[in-house]
Structure 1
């Protein structure tokens, strides 16, 4: 597959920013606590499903302190329709406990601290910082991975390496580009039956030539 040229990457960047300058996550949240939990739950689960789950969870456990004292079986029951709910329930309580013990009950907003929390890897930390603080970071989920490869911006085999390439090539406005690529991949450049003719405003840059198996 061909690689995008520097000129094409700049043009793709400008087009994505123009189309998604006001884009935000589709996860429903009111504060940093709710955002972090929603992002943790969204791993290998749809935002739509997470938004169905979280109201009851937040109602019963409205803050870090309450969640740190939660009953594991109760949390499992509340999030049981989420993928990998057993592990996620354990991590949610461990995360809250660590925030209480190590950060005086305040969720940290820097990557080094966030990744020390159970269930919070680099991607989760970046998504939280992008959404909550507008951090100039890139996070690569399945949608971003797919879009980056179809447009020839990255040929990396992993999400982490794709993130490195995107960060190096785009440099600035990464928070907008991340969210833009997520939404573009979710609704236009879909894994199955991408809407190339109907909706795509980047088709002239596409390097996939009709083969949509990447991502």
Structure 2
């Protein structure tokens, strides 16, 4: 029987309460001090761990202190500086292109607007929502690989498209806690609900999870 939206919202509230209790320290893992630093760090974090990005960004943030500095960066030099984060050529182009657009369109400032953020080169919905939720204090769902996986196992969303998952989560999750819930789902995905070896027997939301494989995994 298909779960109604009302029932899903009620179950989502229970899931959020349980995850809050299990992960009281859930927060963004990227280190940053300004919206621009978070925007750059989030671009670098694509297909890379936050831990690796945090090793690279201190020197970058010391060298490139403004959007104008990023826009004027020598591309081969920047590629070498971010090489360890992977996909360094594409990321370097995205960062310099994004910075040039900030200078040209927004006076070098990161705009607190989803529409304006996603119009920047290299910035998609997830990156925009990370910045809005963590640098500007808005309520925004950031669908990273962990949120994408965990939300579908929990039956809160059903889609192969991260943007569709975002829209479904926006319907199901408490409106005033969307940023926190993103951190809770990411933390749950990292610590318990892993891609290859989920710890179903230790899962704090096991009784609320409809994932068919959970019983088999809990017994192994």
Q: Same fold (TM over 0.5)?
A: yes
The residue number in structure 2 matching 1:202 is: 205
Consecutive unaligned residues in structure 1, runs of 5 or more: none
What is aligned with 2:79?
76
1:182 to 170, 186, 203: 186
8 Å Cα contact 1:9-1:153 kept in structure 2 = yes
CA distance in 2, matches of 1:12, 1:147: 11
**Aligned 1:10-29 pairs, distance under 5 A:** 10-20=13-23, 23-29=26-32
> Equivalent residue of 1:192, what SS?
coil
Length-normalised TM-score, structure 2: 0.88
Flag structure 2 segments of 5+ consecutive residues without an equivalent: none
Residue of structure 1 in register with 2:156 after alignment:
153
Deviations along 1:111-167, whole A, 9 cap, x unmatched?
A: 111112111111110111111123122121110111111111112222111111110
**How far apart in 1 are the matches of 2:32 and 2:162?**
26
Number of the residue aligned with 2:131: 128
RMSD value, Cα? 2.0
- Spell out the pairing of 1:87-126 with structure 2 (5 A cutoff): 87-126=90-129
Aligned to 1:85: 88
Separation (CA, whole Å) in 2 of partners of 1:162 and 1:34: 27
Q: Is the 8 A contact 2:19 2:204 kept in 1?
A: no
Contact kept? 2:12, 2:172, Cα under 8 Å: yes
Contact residue 24 and residue 131 of structure 1 kept, 8 A: no
After TM superposition, list the pairs within 5 Å mapping 1:33-48 onto structure 2: 33-48=36-51
Q: Matches of 2:3 and 2:186 in 1, distance apart?
A: 20
d(CA) in 1 for partners of 2:140 and 2:66? Answer: 27
Structure 1 residues 115 and 178, CA, compared in 2 at 3 Å: closer, same or farther? same
If each structure's helix is expressed as a fraction of its own residues, which one has the higher value? 2
Residue 58 of structure 2 corresponds to 55
Q: Relative to 1, partners in 2 of residues 1:143 and 1:2: Cα closer, same or farther, differing over 3 Å?
A: farther
- The question of 1:9 aligning with 2:12 is answered yes
CA distance in 1, matches of 2:13, 2:38: 31
CA-CA distance at 1:20 after TM superposition? 4.6
Q: What is the aligned residue count?
A: 211
